[in-house]
């Protein structure tokens, strides 16, 4: 319920801030060139794959740049720290990832994407040893999602990600997975073309 309220607040904020840009096109066709550059913020809900309760929420920051025909690179930082299950005395999962993404073709205002990322994960966990309550691991994280364009510079973004934390406390992998919903702001938008209105 709390996540739904946060998502609604983000959507209302994005629509409100972009309202002046939603006017009808009456000027000649506009064309934006160059590589798209974006920054974004989102709220995440993840299954921890650790202990009882297992689901927590957090925040995600992202920045990306398009390179060539839908292919781009990005970096993200996510912290899952909110609403720790009562059965866990402590828990926090953080990831710092760099990735390569591919934007698919537009379907109206919707643009699907896929992403492959890797980097560092840190985790705080309950432990009988008070000197060992935090550790770090190599993380791989494929994801898939879509953006819904509100204006040429603002888009709602939804993403599902599945993580592989390598050799988590032994030979097994830890596999947190979840979704993020947020807003992307394009400092330099995607190429677009609008027809003249006669």
Per-residue pLDDT 10s for the chain (198 aa) are: 444 444 444 443 443 444 444 444 443 334 445 688 999 999 999 999 988 878 999 999 999 999 988 899 999 999 999 999 888 888 999 999 999 999 988 889 999 999 999 999 999 998 888 888 999 999 999 999 999 999 989 999 999 999 999 988 878 899 999 999 999 999 987 664 444 444
| CATH topology classification for 2-17+35-188 | Porin (2.40.160)
* The pLDDT value given to residue 24: 41
pTM over 0.85: no
* The pLDDT value given to residue 61: 98
* The pLDDT value given to residue 164: 97
Q: How far apart are CA 179 and CA 162, in angstroms?
A: 9
């Amino acid at each position: 319920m709390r996540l739904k309220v946060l998502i609604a607040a983000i959507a209302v904020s994005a629509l409100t801030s972009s309202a002046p840009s939603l006017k009808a096109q009456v000027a000649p066709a506009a064309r934006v060139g160059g590589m798209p550059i974006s920054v974004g913020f989102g709220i995440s809900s993840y299954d921890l794959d650790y202990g009882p309760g297992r689901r927590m929420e957090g925040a995600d920051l992202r920045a990306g740049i398009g390179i060539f025909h839908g292919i781009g690179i990005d970096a993200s930082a996510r912290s899952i720290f909110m609403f720790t299950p009562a059965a866990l005395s402590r828990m926090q999962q953080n990831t710092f990832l760099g990735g390569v993404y591919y934007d698919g073709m537009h379907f109206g205002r919707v643009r699907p994407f896929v992403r492959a990322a890797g980097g560092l994960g840190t985790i705080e966990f309950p432990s009988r040893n008070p000197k060992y309550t935090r550790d770090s691991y190599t993380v791989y994280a494929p994801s898939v999602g879509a953006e819904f364009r509100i204006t040429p510079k603002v888009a709602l973004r939804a993403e599902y990600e599945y993580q592989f934390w390598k050799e988590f406390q032994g030979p097994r992998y830890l596999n947190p997975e979840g979704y993020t919903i947020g807003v992307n702001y394009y400092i330099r938008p995607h190429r677009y073309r609008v027809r003249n209105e006669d």
